Amino acid sequence: MPDRIYNFSPGPATLPQEVLAQAAKDIVNYNNIGIGLIELSHRSKAFMEVAQEAESLIRELMSIPENYKILFLQGGASTQFAMVPLNLLAPDKKGTYLNTGTWAKKAIKEASIVAKAQVAYSSEDSSFDHVPSDGDYTVDDDSEYLYFVSNNTIYGTQFAQFPKSDKMLVSDMSSDILSRPFDISPFGLVFAGAQKNMGPAGVTVVIIRDDLLDRAPENLPTMFRYKTHADKGSMFNTPPCFAIYVVGLVAKWLKKQGGVQAIEKINREKAALLYDMIDSTEFYKGHARKDSRSLMNVTFNLPTPELEAKFIKEASENGLDGLKGHRSIGGCRASIYNAFPKQGVVDLVDFMKEFERKNG
Ligand SMILES: *Cc1c(COP(=O)(O)O)cnc(C)c1O
């Protein structure tokens, strides 16, 4: 078996090889202190520094001002579907949602359990092949926030421009955080599970404007309150130490690449290689409308499900793994997050050409 193949998995996803090598070393003996990273007390000076560095690197990379807290929480991005409305909405208040795919739908479901959700837009009728533009929907006056999923991991669509609204924005950025620069100021809250673009599974980064910390109702249990975690620097209870540490390493790696602006340029180049390939033939068909195409997850179909199965199998035999689309839409999906090497995309495009030549 080769040391390493190209892994197009949507998440957990490819991490930089140097990050993996460093982590492997530190797990056994962190910084030569004679204790492995995952054996360290989370209250130890060594680990407190790890967590602080991860926090400050994310703050720096994303230009997050001091009036936002950055939290490291557990429970995955999915827990945020409930925590957001639980903390930001009284039970009789509403949040507005743009239904652009599976993850938006799940968030709408949770918001409807604990408060009220206005679904202002849905692209479900066209298999979630696009995201809306600003004029396509209206937000109720009495809504507290406008919630959207910045990148729809499963359908391969992405907001090229974020919605503009007089309401505060809330976004699930699980699959494109740190992939491009943006201005945080219209946002009340942003969250992202780490395992797509930021690190291993086990930690969810929440960025919250600090005036929102006091909104939670009295009867909300302690662990579900953002304020609990904000007041204790994400150390109210044992945090996901290893995941936070790797997020810090990935952030360091990203800074070395030139930061978010530099990686956006590379992300655009990688995605363009694939979309140009798809557009150059009738054999491959992109799922997403052109104006909504994701730079992170490129979804496409072949003429038949049989050819798709053959394509995925043969790609895998050629060291191009994880190209099977999500079970809810089928087809193929190439997930090419920050850490995915450009050479892997070049190799995939070559493979696609060859596969079409033989099977087209
Ligand atoms: C993967 C994903 C989730 C779910 O994350 P979990 O950490 O598994 O709960 C939510 N939203 C988006 C956009 C995702 O890509």
Q: One digit per residue, pLDDT tens: the chain, 360 residues?
A: 678 999 999 999 999 999 999 999 999 999 999 999 999 999 999 999 999 999 999 999 999 999 999 999 999 999 999 999 999 998 889 999 999 999 999 999 999 999 999 999 999 999 999 999 999 999 999 999 999 999 999 999 999 999 999 999 999 999 999 999 999 999 999 999 999 999 999 999 999 999 999 999 999 999 999 999 999 999 999 999 999 999 999 999 999 999 999 999 999 999 999 999 999 999 999 999 999 999 999 999 999 999 999 999 999 999 999 999 998 889 999 999 999 999 999 999 999 999 999 998
152: CA distance to ligand 1 center in Å?
A: 10
Q: What is the CA radius of gyration of the chain?
A: 21
Q: Which of 172, 176, 227, 324 is catalytic?
A: 172
- Cα end-to-end span (Å), the chain: 30
Q: Which CATH class is domain 18-256?
A: alpha beta
166 given a catalytic annotation:
no
Q: Is the CB of 149 under 6 A from ligand 1?
A: yes
DSSP-derived secondary structure letter, 319: T
SS3 content of the chain, % helix, strand, coil (to 5): 40, 20, 40
Task: Please tell me whether residue 138 adopts helix, strand or coil conformation.
Answer: coil
Is residue 96 within 8 A of residue 146, CB to CB? The reply is yes
Q: Ligand 1, residue 151: give the atom nearest the CA.
A: 13
**For the chain, which residues make up each domain, given as ranges?**
18-256, 259-359
CA of 12 to the centre of ligand 1 (A): 10
Ligand 1, atom 3: nearest CA belongs to which residue? 77
Element (H, E) at 114: helix 102-114
Element (H, E) at 250: helix 241-256
Contact indicator for 83, 106 with CB cutoff of 8 Å: no
Question: Token pair of 95, please?
Answer: 């949040």
Question: Pick the catalytic residue: 26, 69, 94, 103?
Answer: 103
With a 6 Å cutoff on the Cβ, whether 150 touches ligand 1 is no
For 319, residues 6+ apart whose C-beta sits below 8 A from its C-beta are: 2, 5, 6, 347
Q: Is 3 exposed, middle or buried (0-12, 13-18, 19+ CB in 10 A)?
A: exposed
Which fold, 259-359?
Aspartate Aminotransferase, domain 1 (3.90.1150)
| Same fold for the pair 18-256 and 259-359 | no
Is 253 an annotated catalytic residue?
Answer: no
* DSSP letter, residue 124: G
Q: Please indicate whether residue 11, judged by its CB atom, sits closer than 6 Å to ligand 1.
A: yes
Active site residue 103: yes
Helices 305-317 and 342-359 sit at what angle, rounded to 10 degrees?
130
Catalytic residue among 69, 94, 196, 227: 196
Number of H helices, E strands in the chain: 9, 14
Residue 32: CB atoms within 10 Å: 8
Q: Which residues pair with 146 in a beta bridge?
A: 96, 169
For residue 48, the Cα-to-chain-centroid distance in whole angstroms is 25
- Ligand 1 site, residue 259, Cβ cutoff 6 A: no
Q: Which residue minimizes the CA distance to atom 8 of ligand 1?
A: 76
Does the pTM exceed 0.85?
yes
- Closest residue to atom 10 of ligand 1, CA basis: 77
CA–CA distance, 156 with 328 (Å, rounded to integer): 13
Residue 39 structure tokens: 């054996």
* Strand ranges, E, within 302-352: 320-321, 332-335
The Å distance, Cα 253 to ligand 1 centre, comes to 23
333 lines ligand 1 (CB under 6 A): no
* Residue 77 in contact with ligand 1 by CB distance below 6 A: yes
